[in-house]
Chains A and B, each alone.
Chain A
Amino acid sequence: MVDVTLEPPHVLANTREIKTGVQLEQVTFGYQTPILKNFSWQLHLGETWAIVGASGIGKTTLLYLLAGLRKPQRGQVLYRGEVLEKTPAGVGLMLQDYGLLPWYRVEANVALGLRLRGVGKKERIERSRAWLGKLGIEHLAKRFPLQLSGGQRQRVALARLLVLEPDMMLLDEPLSALDELTRERLQRELFTLTRDTERTTVIVTHHIEEAALLASHVMVIPEKTPIADVTVLRSPFSDRTMPAREDPQFLAFTRQIRDLLGL
């Protein structure tokens, strides 16, 4: 397993007093058909949320709203008390297909966010290298994304996200494209990364076990559109060690999620 050293996000250090990370207030949003209707949700700093629900229900849309990439048609999204206009510097989004630029080498992809924010070349390279090292993919720095396996691409996307030291990570099906072996390994890494006390994380997944393993809060979206009422389950495991899969309490927790999904 790759050793991931935890670093507190920089931005947060001075703003401890603000407790609420993100707030959705009576949000309505949709394209041709409504996806969210009068939906309210509050995330506190340091929490790790998993959103589970059927595919196509609007989980990704929820992430887009949190990232400020879509504007609510009614209601508002507040980030640290302010209305969200675009993606704030402290928010990192990782999409399902990782959104890597295929024409840039791994190192350039990882450094891209820093480059867009005007960080100098030397610092960019140093910080990117550091994260590539922490995720164990230093040797891939000169490759292009199409020359990587699914698991490697996933790590690159993660490195691109973490190099920005976000205080909120939004991850859309981060482990869905991986084989079981890589998946379990990265679940551990993600767990370590998200349990950084100050960092807020939202993980969209359709993998029930994964939600139960990683999250402090699980939002279960019923198969009924538009999304209005959801059930939130608090994980019985709130410590810093990942629950064991065969733990009866863990099994009961996943059973609970399955019941809510009608499985």
Chain B
Amino acid sequence: MSRRRTLLVVSQILLLVFVWHAVAVRLERPFLPEPLVVFSTFFAELFGEDTATGLLTATSWSDVQVALAKPNGRLLADTWASLQRIGVSLFWGTLLAAPLAIATADNRWLDRLFSPLLYALYPVPKIVFLPVVIFFLGLGDPSIIFLIALIVFFQIFVIVRDSAGQVPPQTLDSLEALGANRWQRLLHVYVPLGIPAVITALKISLGTAIAVLFIAESLGNTDGLGYYINSLQLNRFAYNKVYAGIVAISLLGSTLFGVLSWLERRSSRWQRSSP
């Protein structure tokens, strides 16, 4: 990101926080706490009350070390649980979809076998299978991971298949004339073309993946950000903490999105017409 763009993003976030603050002060209702309260709750929940206070009042490096040694908060554990679920799901979705997409692009027989069905199922919102998945796999990690991997799978399959299908026949012909065999064709054409497509697909499906994660974690789970937010909302009306959870899930989403955007730019440098 250029410096100018970073400045723009930061100032827009600050503006949003300011508007939030103004509305909260004006409304004076418990269900909309002021941003400063939310952020301090967020840090306390993330690092634990003692660590957060210790960090905020630290005057020396040893104070910081003492503060960090105190136990972390619940929110950190829940964020970590959610991050792991997302990571494992994206991994499996990619591992299954990308090779299949490339294989169908390269082989007419495989294409006829898989593509029509997969393209037909692509527009179906996979979240509707949540109850069915729970019937089979029960509540908990296997269901959540399966469902998110399924969503990612379809997204990756369609995008990678489309981009691999657009390789000009001349490119393949000239590669063959240079003496490339089947594996070399995969290595030099479909893999370099597939990697940016996979990253784009992950970026596109990230929003849905986190939404599904949130819903699935709310159902009978005992950790994760979805569970964190919902358990507080339903049982205790701890508004500050609910907002802290929302901040955490937003940060998780935008961090992953940022990493994927960076990878996308890096892997598609060749598509830019200026050096």
Question: Inside 8 A of B273's CB, which chain A residues have their CB?
Answer: 146-147
Given contacts A96-B170, A144-B269, contact A91 B177 (CB under 8 A): yes
| Residue of B179, B189, B192, B275 ringed by the most chain A CB atoms within 10 A | B179
Question: Inside 8 A of B188's CB, which chain A residues have their CB?
Answer: 101, 104, 112, 116
CB-CB contacts of B254-274 with A at 8 A, as 1s and 0s?
000000000000000111111
Question: Does B174 sit at the interface, judged by CB under 8 A?
Answer: yes
Question: Inside 8 A of B272's CB, which chain A residues have their CB?
Answer: 144, 146-147
Cβ-Cβ contact count across A and B, 8 Å cutoff: 73
Interface set, chain B 156-193, CB cutoff 8 A to A: 168, 170-171, 173-180, 184, 188-189, 192-193
The distance in angstroms between the C-alpha atoms of A105 and B180, with both chains bound, is: 18
- Nearest CB of B to A64, in Å: 7
Question: Inside 8 A of B173's CB, which chain A residues have their CB?
Answer: 64, 69, 93, 95, 99
Whether the Cβ atoms of B275 and A92 lie closer than 8 Å is no
Question: Inside 8 A of B174's CB, which chain A residues have their CB?
Answer: 93-95, 98-99
Whether the Cβ atoms of B177 and A116 lie closer than 8 Å is no
Q: What is the total number of residues of chain B having a CB less than 8 Å from a CB of chain A? A: 23
Whether the Cβ atoms of B177 and A102 lie closer than 8 Å is no
- Secondary structure at the B interface, as helix, strand, loop or mixed, is helix
Whether the Cβ atoms of B170 and A99 lie closer than 8 Å is yes
Question: Inside 8 A of A31's CB, which chain B residues have their CB?
Answer: none
Question: Inside 8 A of A160's CB, which chain B residues have their CB?
Answer: 178
Question: Does A117 sit at the interface, judged by CB under 8 A?
Answer: yes
Question: Inside 8 A of B180's CB, which chain A residues have their CB?
Answer: 116
19 contacts between A and B (CB under 8 A): A69-B176, A69-B177, A89-B179, A96-B170, A97-B168, A98-B174, A101-B175, A101-B188, A102-B270, A103-B193, A104-B188, A104-B270, A105-B270, A113-B178, A146-B270, A146-B271, A147-B272, A147-B273, A164-B178
Residues on A lying within 8 angstroms of B by beta carbon are 64, 67, 69, 86-87, 89, 91-99, 101-105, 112-113, 116-117, 142-147, 160, 164
The 5 closest A-B pairs by CB, nearest first: A99-B174, A93-B177, A103-B192, A144-B270, A113-B178
Residues on B lying within 8 angstroms of A by beta carbon are 168, 170-171, 173-180, 184, 188-189, 192-193, 269-275
Other A-B contacts than A89-B179, A95-B173, A142-B275, 13 sampled, CB-CB below 8 A, are A69-B176, A87-B178, A87-B179, A92-B177, A94-B174, A95-B170, A97-B170, A99-B174, A113-B178, A116-B175, A116-B178, A116-B180, A147-B275
